[in-house]
Structure 1
């Protein structure tokens, strides 16, 4: 049994490694060792998370997927959560979350009956917390949209997020020099969605010209 820690933050401005100390402490208290860490800056509302799926690809039956909170694993829609859950079940990976005490015993070996009972209970709790995380995500998006709409009613109040012109110029220069998207993301800290937006905007300008 290997314990694989998954760390996620939503944006490049956030630290995906923030929860690492808490996961290390959890493992140390139980005399366990974390075999590998998988960290990425991607939205929990999307299934496009390369590191999460690399973790699952690396996992064997009985391995533990260790997370700080269930929302680090999923802020997915119900359909996408079911897709991810099927993948986890196919790999027979045990999800252990620090904010889900019912899952903690799955991090240590136990008898077959106890394990199956805990997995059944844990599955129900994961479904519930994943649904709560999704609702929180949708509520925050709704409040943000309402706030922007209200600000737009006042002339000059809403300006949006300022563009980082220097960084974006550097990104386009790196891409033009033949660097891969992965190399540019690693060098600049930008997400793949940012690269996609910039390349589309550049292509649109070229077409107009």
Structure 2
């Protein structure tokens, strides 16, 4: 009988894993499933070079099931994510995505072959759509962040949050996006930019405060 594994990822160590882990555990408890292990990562979803994920692929075997909360917890790059999904399929590892309820249905128990084929096809189409949306949202967020910051600079509203002397706040924010995307740790960025801990967190505080202003320029 196959085993059940869970996987959850956040973009940075500053984000919390608890919500996603609780969602997986609640689903398993409700459906009387016992996970062998729930593996986590706190790094970017732009690629799959992650310690937890790499270990997970060595652990799963034919007949096992992997449970994730959302498609973008697996990855945000469409081509790479679809490649990983095919890897699970080729190794006969079932993937349950909690935001897509049809992936939690056991098609093997269905007697109607046509109905089974239609559900499987619909599920595969939905997965690809969600992967595309995850990638598009990542690019849109990056674009809105840069446009919003540039608009703040032009409008003069940035002055209301102060201007640290070491470097411009806009320059820091663009660099800090690498932390948000999990490409670099806060400590490494601090060292790379030559900032003290207090100065770094002053910049970060201004970055966080910019959120309300940036929302004015976001397109729904």
Structure 1-normalised TM-score?
0.69
Corresponding residue for 2:61?
A: 60
Q: CA deviation at 1:111?
A: 5.8
RMSD: 3.1
**SS of residue paired to 1:95:** strand
Partner Cα distance (1:116, 1:45) in 2? 33
Alpha carbons 2:95, 2:103 under 8 Å: kept: yes
Corresponding residue for 2:109?
A: 110
Judged with a 3 Å threshold, the aligned counterparts in structure 2 of structure 1 residues 112 and 33 are, in CA distance, closer, same or farther, namely farther
Q: CA deviation at 1:98?
A: 1.2
**SS of residue paired to 2:145:** helix
Q: Deviations over 1:158-187 (max 9, x none)?
A: 6235x9xxxxxxxxxxxxxxxxxxxxxxxx
Number of positions where the alignment pairs a residue of Structure 1 with one of Structure 2: 172
Q: Structure 1 unaligned segments of length 5 or more: list them.
A: 164-190, 203-209
Partner Cα distance (2:67, 2:108) in 1? 15
Corresponding residue for 2:215?
A: none
Corresponding residue for 2:132?
A: 131
**SS of residue paired to 1:19:** helix
Q: Structure 2 unaligned segments of length 5 or more: list them.
A: 176-181, 195-220
Partner Cα distance (2:57, 2:120) in 1? 18
Corresponding residue for 1:87?
A: 87
Partner Cα distance (2:65, 2:17) in 1? 19
Corresponding residue for 1:14?
A: 15
Higher relative contact order (CA 8 A, sep 6+): 2
Judged with a 3 Å threshold, the aligned counterparts in structure 2 of structure 1 residues 54 and 111 are, in CA distance, closer, same or farther, namely farther
Corresponding residue for 1:46?
A: 47
Alpha carbons 1:6, 1:65 under 8 Å: kept: yes
Alpha carbons 2:64, 2:92 under 8 Å: kept: yes
Partner Cα distance (1:90, 1:41) in 2? 27
Partner Cα distance (2:137, 2:34) in 1? 32
Partner Cα distance (2:27, 2:132) in 1? 25
Judged with a 3 Å threshold, the aligned counterparts in structure 2 of structure 1 residues 84 and 196 are, in CA distance, closer, same or farther, namely farther
Judged with a 3 Å threshold, the aligned counterparts in structure 2 of structure 1 residues 144 and 201 are, in CA distance, closer, same or farther, namely closer
Alpha carbons 1:56, 1:91 under 8 Å: kept: no
Alpha carbons 2:43, 2:183 under 8 Å: kept: no
Alpha carbons 1:59, 1:91 under 8 Å: kept: no
Matched, 1:24 2:37: no
Q: 177, 184, 195: which one pairs with 1:193?
A: 184
